[in-house]
Structure 1
Amino acid sequence: MTQSPATPLPPPTERRRLREAGSLTQAQIAERVGVSRRTVRAWETGRAAPRGREGEAYLDLLRSLEERRRDQERSADVDVTERHAGAEGDGLDGDAAAAAADPAGRTGRPLTPAQAFDALYAFCAPALVRQTYLLTGRRELARESVERAFEIAWQRWPEVARDPDPAGWVRATAYDFALSPWHRFRPRYRHPEPPPADTADRLLLDVLLGLTPSQRRTLLLYDGVGLDLPETAAETEATTPAAANRILHARAAVAARMPTLSDPDDLHRRLAELASAERLRASAAPAVREGGERRARFWTRAAIAFTVALIGTTALTLRTAPTRYEPPVPPGATVHGVPPPVAPGPLSHKEQKLRDKLRSEPHAGPERLAPQPF
C-alpha cells in the first residue's frame, strides 16, 4: 500500500515555479524521479497527486530546488548566467527564462532594463529559435521572427517587464510573426529551404508542416514546450475544448505517418531532437536592442515626415483654393432649325408686289410720324 509523503507538497503552481527557477524541464524532472513527463505535467497542474516512492523522490527534489533557490537569493554576487547555465539543455523548453530575467532582481540587487532584457534574451532566444523552426520549417524566418519579437519587446519593455510570463509574451509575438501569411509574398521565402539531412527528421518536419498552422502551434506548445492545456488554449486564443481537439487531430496525423510517435512522450523527445539537430544561432542581445531602437527611430522619423508633408499639402491647398464659388461654364449646345444667313440682294417679283401693297395701303392704328423731304 502506497502512502503520500509525510511532509505536504507545495501547491502545483509552486512546483512549476521551483522547476523553472532551477532551469529544469518536465522531461528532466521525470528522468530524475523515474516517471513519465505526462505524470510530471499532471503533478504540476494538480490533476494528480504524487504518491509512494515517486512522490518521496519528487518531494526531495523540490526541497533541493528550494534550498538552492534560497542560496541564490542570499548570494548577491552570483551571476545570472551561471545560475541558469543548464536552461538550454533541452531542445524546446525555454520557460526557465522567465525566472532568470525577473526585472525585480532575484539576486538581491535590481537589474537595469538592458540587463533584464539581455538575461531574458540569453535564455529564451536559443530555445525559441528552435521552436519557431519547427513551426515554419525555415531557418532564416525562425531567426528573423525571434529577433523581431525581442525588438518589439524592447520597445515595450515596461509592459513586458511587468508581465507575469515575459517568456510567454515574447513566444506568442514570435509565433504570430512567423505564421503571418504575408511571408509567402516575400521573394526570399518563395522557395523551400533545404530539408534536414536525416530521413526521419525530414519525415517528421514534413508531417508537422502538413498540419494547419493552428494545429501545429497547439501541438508544439503542448507536446513540445510542455504547457498545460489551459495555458496552451490561452496562448493560442482558443477555448480549452478547441485546443484539445487540435491536439488530438495533430497527434492522429503524426501517428498516421509515424506510428512510433503515437506516445506523447516519444513525440516530445523527437521534437526536441529535431529542434536540436539544427544548429540555429540568434544574434547577440545588444545587436537586437540596437536594431529595435533603429527601427523605432526610422518609423518615428517617417511619421514626422508624413505629418510635415500633410501639413504642407494642407497649407498649399488653403493658399491656392478659390475664396468664392464660380459656377462652371456649361458646354456649348448645337441649335437646330435656324435658317442660314442670307446676304442682301435684289428683291424677287413676289417680294416687290408685297412691298408695293404695303406702301399703298393706309396705315392702321394711330398716326405715325413720317419724315418729309425738304
Structure 2
Amino acid sequence: MTRSTTDEAAAPQLPSPKERRRLREAKSLSEEQVAAAVGVTRATVRSWETGRTSPRGRKRALYAKLIAPGPKAPTTTPSAVVAVAPAPPEPLPAPPPEPAPEARATVAVQAQAESAAEDKRASTAEIAAEDKRGSTAEIAAEDKQEGGAEGGAETVGERRLSPAEAFDELYARTAPALVRQAYLLTGRRALARESVERAFQLAWHRWPEVAVDRDPAGWVRAAAYEYAMSPWHRLRRAHRHPDAPPTEPGKRALFDALLDLPPAYRRTLLLYDGVGLDLPETAAETEASTPAAAGRLMTARAAVAERLPELAAAPSPAEQSALLHDRLGGLARAEHVPVPQPARAVRTGSEDKARLWTRAAIAGVALLIAVTGLTLHTAPTHYEPPIAPAERVGGVPPRGGPQQLTVQDLQLQKSLREQLAHGPERLVPQLR
C-alpha cells in the first residue's frame, strides 16, 4: 500500500460538497475566514464546496475540524431543512424582511437565497463555461500549490495549462459574448470591441491576480463594463453618437428603451435578465446594495415594458424575466457585432503597452534626476542681498574746494613735470 493510500484511509471523512457549504454557513463562516484558517485561497475553498477538488493531508484534517457540526447543531435542525428547500420560482425577490432575532434563521435565509442563485446560474451557459474553466487553469494551479505543500504525494493526471494557454481559453470562451453585451450596454459596435480588448489587456497585465480570482470571467466583465460606460467617451468624435438602430420594429423599440435608461439601471437590467446573475451578485458587481439593485431592476423593467407590450402582458415576473432574456439575446445575436482580435494579439498589445509605460516611467525619472542635478549645480551657495534701485537725491549742497581735474588738465600737469624749463636764466630756479 502506498503512502498516499494510507494517508487517505487515515484522513477524516468529509461530507458531500453541498453539505460542506451548508455546514460552513451554519457556523456563519465566510470563505475568506475558512481559507485563512486552513491556509489556502478562496478559490480552493470554493472548489472544495463545488466538488471539483478535495483537501488532503493536514489541510483535510483542519477543514474537517473547522466545519464539523457542533453538539447543538445536528444536521436535521429546522435551519438545515430550510437551507436545502427548493428555490422560489420568482427571480425578483420581494423587499428584504425585518431581520429575525435568532442568528440561525438569518443563516437559513441566506442559505436559501444562495441556493436559489446557484440553481439559476446553473441554467446559463456562462456559468457552465466557468465551471469548465475552473477545472483547468484555476484548479490545476491550486492542486499544484497543494501538492507542493504536502510533499507531492498525489499528482494531477491532466496536463496543466500555462498562463498563456489559460488566458487564451478564457478569451475564446468569453470574449464574443462580452462584445455583444457591451454593444447592448453602449449601442456602439466599435466601442464594444474596444472595451472588451482593453479589459482583456488589463487582465493579462494582472494575470496572477485574475487567475486566482473566484470568477475570472466576472472580473473581465466588470472591467469591460466600466470602460464602456466611461463618460469620457462623449469627447471622442467616433463614439459621440450611438450606431444606427435595428430596422425591425420590435428590436428597434428594445434598443431605444435600453439606451434611454440611465447607465446604472441599464447595467443592472443587463446583468440580471441578460447575463443571468442573481440579485446579490448583480448588486455586488454594480457596487450597490441589494435593495438598491432590486429597485433599479424594477424601474428598468417598467420602463422597458412601456415600449414592449408583450413584456407588460407577462403574467408573472418569472415569465417576464425569461421573455426579456430571450429578447436581449435575440437583439445581441441579430446585430453584426465585430469579432474581437485573436488572443495572441491582445496579449501582445498588453505587453507592448506595459513596456511603453515602463519606458515612459524610466524616462520621467531620468528627466527628474537631471533637472534636480542642474538645479543643485546652478543654485547659489550663499545669501546675496539685493541691490536697491537708484534714486535721485535732492537738497544736497554742492561740494566745495578744488574740483576734479579733467583729462586735459592731467595731461598738462604731467608734461610740465617731465619737461625741462627753457627760457631766461633769471626765470630758471637754481640750487644753492
Residue 331 of structure 1: how far off its partner (Å): 3.4
Aligned CA distance change for structure 1 residues 265 and 17 (closer, same or farther; 3 Å): farther
- Distance change >3 Å, CA 242–CA 48, structure 1 → 2: closer
Q: 1:286 to 1:330 in 2, by over 3 A?
A: same
For residues 311-337 of structure 1, give each alpha carbon's deviation from its aligned partner in whole angstroms, at most 9, with x where no partner exists: 1111111111111122222334566x6
Is this contact kept in 2: 1:232–1:243, CA < 8 A? Answer: yes
Equivalent residue number for residue 272 of structure 1: 329
Q: Match for residue 311 of structure 1?
A: 369
Give deviations 1:93-146, integer Å, cap 9, x for gaps: 533332333313498221100110011001110111111111100001000000
> Does the C-alpha gap of structure 1 residues 182 and 342 become closer, same or farther in structure 2, counting only changes over 3 Å?
same
What's 2:355 paired with? 297
After TM superposition, list the pairs within 5 Å mapping 1:1-374 onto structure 2: 46-47=112-113, 94-102=126-134, 103=137, 104-105=139-140, 108-262=158-312, 263-280=320-337, 281-333=339-391, 338=395
Relative to structure 1, is the Cα distance of residues 303 and 338 closer, same or farther in structure 2, using a 3 angstrom cutoff? Answer: same
Residue in 2 that maps onto 1:22: none
**Whole-Å separation in 2 of the counterparts to 1:9 and 1:323:** 75
Rounded to whole Å, the distance in 1 between the matches of 2:369 and 2:115 is: 67
Structure 1 CA distance for aligned equivalents of residues 376 and 370 of structure 2: 10
In 2 relative to 1, CA 107–160 (structure 1 residues): closer, same or farther, beyond 3 Å? farther
Compute the displacement of 1:203 (Å): 1.7
Aligned residues of 1:95 and 1:167 also touching (Cα < 8 A): no
Answer yes or no: is the 8 Å Cα contact 1:145–1:174 preserved in 2: yes
Alignment gaps of 5+ in structure 1: 1-7, 19-36, 51-57, 63-86, 345-374
Number of residue equivalences: 279
Name the aligned partner's letter for residue 343 of structure 2.
A
Q: In 2, distance between residues paired with 1:309 and 1:107? A: 53
RMSD across aligned positions (CA): 3.6
Q: Secondary structure at the match of 2:388?
A: coil
Choose 305-314 or 198-207, whichever is displaced more.
Answer: 198-207
Aligned 8 A contact 2:187 2:259 in 1: yes
Shift of 1:185: 1.0
Deviation (angstroms), 1:256: 1.6
Determine if contact 1:117/1:154 at 8 Å carries over to the other structure: yes
The answer on whether the counterparts of 1:149 and 1:170 sit within 8 Å (CA) in structure 2 is: yes
* Residue identity in the other structure for 2:178: L
Name the CA shift for 1:185/1:333 in 2 (closer, same or farther; >3 Å): farther
Q: Could you say which residue in structure 2 is the equivalent of 1:31?
A: none
In structure 2, C-alpha distance between the alignment counterparts of 1:307 and 1:291, rounded to whole Å: 24
How far, CA to CA, are the matches of 1:40 and 1:123 in structure 2?
26
Q: Deviations over 1:239-283 (max 9, x none)?
A: 001100100111111112222223222111100101111232111
Does structure 2 conserve the Cα–Cα contact (< 8 Å) formed by 1:94 and 1:128?
A: no
Q: Aligned with 1:96: secondary structure?
A: helix
CA displacement at 1:196 relative to structure 2: 2.1
Q: Normalised by the size of structure 2, how large is the TM-score?
A: 0.58
Rounded to whole Å, the distance in 1 between the matches of 2:263 and 2:293 is 13
Q: Contact 1:128/1:171 (CA < 8 Å) preserved in 2?
A: yes
Deviation at 1:200?
Answer: 1.9
- Which deviations, in whole Å up to 9, do the C-alpha atoms of 1:49-83 show, x marking residues without a partner? 99xxxxxxx9xxx9xxxxxxxxxxxxxxxxxxxxx
Partners of 1:48 and 1:159 lie apart in 2 by: 25
Equivalent-residue separation in structure 2 for 1:200 and 1:107 (angstroms): 51
Instruction: Indicate conservation of the 8 Å contact 1:233/1:243, yes or no.
Output: yes
The residue type equivalent to 1:101 in the other structure is R
SS of 1:94's partner is helix
Alpha-carbon distance change, 204 to 176 in structure 1, aligned in 2, over 3 angstroms: same
**Structure 2 stretches of 5 or more lacking a match?**
1-15, 22-45, 52-87, 94-110, 141-155, 313-319, 402-432
Q: Secondary structure at the match of 1:128?
A: helix
CA distance in 2, matches of 1:307, 1:48: 50
Q: Is the CA contact (8 Å cut-off) linking 1:100 and 1:119 kept in structure 2?
A: no
- Whether the aligned pair in 2 keeps the contact of 1:255 and 1:261 (CA below 8 Å) is yes
Letter in 1 for 2:389: P
Distance change in 2, residues 1:294/1:343 (3 Å): same
State the Cα deviation string for residues 320-371 of structure 1 (Å, max 9, x = none).
1111122222334566x64897999xxxxxxxxxxxxxxxxxxxxxxxxxxx
User: What is the alpha-carbon distance in structure 1 between the residues aligned to residue 325 and residue 241 of structure 2?
Assistant: 29
CA distance in 2, matches of 1:235, 1:121: 20
State the percentage of identical aligned residues: 56
